Amino acid sequence: MSTGRFRRTRTLSLRVLIAAPQAVPRSFRLAVLALGVVGAVHGLVYVPFAGPRLGDTPSYTAPAQAIRNGSYSTPLPDVDVTALHIPESAQGALERQSYRTPGYPLLLAATGFSGPGRPYLLIVVQAILTGIGVALLALTARRLWGERAGLVAGALAALDPFPKHYVPRILSEALAGSLVALAVYAFVRAWQSRSAWWWAATGLSTAALTLTRPLFALAVPLVVLGALVVRSWRGAAACAAACALLLGPWIAWEGDVAGKLTVSSFGEGWNLLIAAHGEGLHHTAAEVERSRAYVHDFVSVHRFAPSAAALRRNHEAHPHYLARADAEQRRLAEHLYWKRLRHEPLTVLGEVAYRGYFLWMAHEDWVQPSWLLPLLRAADWLTLVLAALGVALAIRLGGAGRALALFMVVFTLVNAVHHVEARYAMPVRGLYVAFVGLALLTLWDRRQRRQEQRGDPEARAREVAGRDQVRLRQPEHEPGHDR
């Protein structure tokens, strides 16, 4: 009988075997609970050191206050996200919010935070969500690669310091990270069971994640595709319907308010424009944003700005402007990208590769003591190599793990063609370290096998005979009918 454990055998060149998932043993449940508590408490450690507010915080608190007031209209600031100076007579006039999706503002509104002090209830909630995310990642890794992999993934996620400093902050990373863990767990359950209910849960969690971080809209078609890959037709329909149930009303709101069916009225074009202007190894985003060429393109959209009278009179004037500005910046970015690809393709591809690398340099997300930077950079390099190895192993092993590994590749590529910051990867950091754990266990098992072979010549002979034979002892799921 299969034990569901991560095993070693002397006859296979790859010592990672996927066993059919069974009921979670009590000892493993207790270990997962402990890891979840460690992850939650770890986030609270940073409360004295990490202030709650950063640059993006007001763009979340204003919609949250609007929700508490029974609407989703926010006052116009003095300067908007396009660097447009709002006429003084229009400042404070209400606009229907189209820039910030409602996922994180809903959490802020639910916790009741509206004052200038520390949001203690929000911090506790975000710590709990972080702990739940750790537990879900451990359970997911167990289903994919066995109990040892689950424990290692959970331990790495609980001890990883980089996402934890978002627990005290009024930013969406903590909520997004827990939703990624939920979506990943539901996806693996759906893939293995073919259950339409689990596919619906996958769709709901992916849609909720998209309403928290619009970038994850890329995951919506991918999870539906996942259901089609395993030929779960009812599952694909349930997943698509669940996504539409949550995303449909918001996209309809955007279409009405901003005049465009989208997830967010502004942001994609801006990020693409920074990348197109050459963000890379020796040309940081800050340097790009100070360059004349970039500034010219960025502020060129101000010609579409509505008048002060229109801003005061029409609550949809500014959202329409944002959508038009985003489309124009995206047009300029695409034109520049293609022009540079024709004239300097290697330079452009090098910039894309560097941004894909920089996305995973978590130490860049903090202000660190200079003496500590070499050590942190080396740790990030090692982690990146291990994560890449884990992704390659997961692709080789197949099943839901292969799908998640391919998602990480797509996620990296999509980010790499845009402006990147290390914090953009924080929501998927738990999945990232799960692949690190898979690589570590594989390397450890190979080391143990070599030590055993030194004292057993017959084992060495069997190893030579079985070299390069890679197979799965048990499938991730039993073949069956669509449910």
Amino acid 453: pLDDT:
78
Residue 243 falls inside a structural domain: yes
Residue 246 falls inside a structural domain: yes
Residue 396 falls inside a structural domain: no
Residue 10 falls inside a structural domain: no
Residue 253 falls inside a structural domain: yes
Which residues, in sequence order, are bridge partners of residue 96? 73
Amino acid 465: pLDDT:
55
Q: Are 129 and 178 in contact (CB under 8 A)?
A: yes
Residue 80 falls inside a structural domain: no
Whether 221 has a pLDDT exceeding 50, the answer reads yes
Nearest C-alpha neighbor of 174 from the set 46, 312, 318, 27: 46
**463 to 441, 446, 472, 474: CA distances (angstroms):** 19, 11, 17, 21
Amino acid 161: pLDDT:
95
The H or E element containing residue 15 is none
Whether 235 has a pLDDT exceeding 80, the answer reads yes
Residue 1: pLDDT band by 50, 70, 90 thresholds? very low
Residue 175 falls inside a structural domain: no
Residue 261: pLDDT band by 50, 70, 90 thresholds? very high
How many domains in the chain?
Answer: 1
Q: Are 329 and 297 in contact (CB under 8 A)?
A: yes
Model confidence, pTM: 0.90
Q: State the CB neighbour count (10 A cutoff) for residue 312.
A: 18
> What gap in Å lies between CA 68 and CA 63, rounded to an integer?
9
- 305-330, pLDDT tens digit by residue? 999 999 999 999 999 999 999 999 99
Whether 18 has a pLDDT exceeding 50, the answer reads no
Residue 249 falls inside a structural domain: yes
Range of the domain at 225: 191-263
> What gap in Å lies between CA 236 and CA 203, rounded to an integer?
9
Phi, psi of 266 (to 5 degrees): -150, 145
Q: Are 145 and 18 in contact (CB under 8 A)?
A: yes
Mean pLDDT of the chain: 91
Amino acid 462: pLDDT:
60
Whether 470 has a pLDDT exceeding 60, the answer reads no
Amino acid 368: pLDDT:
78
> What gap in Å lies between CA 376 and CA 386, rounded to an integer?
15
